[in-house]
Amino acid sequence: MKKILMVFAVAVFMASCGTTYTTTSTSENQAYDIPEVLRTSFTVSYPTASNVTWQRYDAATTPIDWELTDWPAMGPNDYVVQFNVGNERYNAWYNANGEWIGSAYAVSDHSILPSAVHDLLRNQFSGYTIEKVEREFWKDRQAYELKLKSNTNSNEVKLLVDANGTILKQKLKD
């Protein structure tokens, strides 16, 4: 009888876990229900990752502006993983086949942006304040997604800028 109760308790516990899968050790990588190909791809790309949390992709909770990145469309069969590398908290996106889509992390210290990005902001967006910066990686590219707010009105600008200060994409919001 005790065995039956124990099995029932474990089953109830597992059912209440939802679709978020957590592991804090990449060497063990005990994230349940995450396809092996996906876990392997992640571990190869981020061998020093810690505090790893997997979940199914949900468009409502993504910190990336997909229109700026031109990343492929993602759906409910794809995954996002949050993890730490050093002092940075990353998000990485993978499709259901384990193929890496891209990664990003928030840049809280804006002074570390490349000088060319600072020059761009000073020359073309001097009337704006940086609200948010994400450093993004995809394919063979790296860029900064900048959210800027006007100092004089409610206008906002989102930029995708490479390290050379070249604007790759721009969106205006009045």
Beta-carbon-side half-sphere exposure of residue 138 (alpha carbons within 13 Å): 21
Low pLDDT (below 50) residues in the chain: 1-30
Give me the pLDDT at residue 58, please: 87
Enclosing H/E stretch for 14: helix 2-15
Q: Residue 128 in contact with residue 148, Cβ under 8 Å?
A: yes
Give me the pLDDT at residue 1, please: 43
Give me the pLDDT at residue 174, please: 61
Residues near 99 by beta carbon (within 8 Å), at least 6 away in sequence: 41
Stated pTM of the model = 0.77
Gap between the Cα atoms of 39 and 26, Å rounded: 9
Gap between the Cα atoms of 78 and 58, Å rounded: 9
Give me the pLDDT at residue 129, please: 96
Give me the pLDDT at residue 13, please: 33
All domains in the chain, ordered by first residue? 18-102 (3.10.450.360), 110-173 (3.10.450.40)
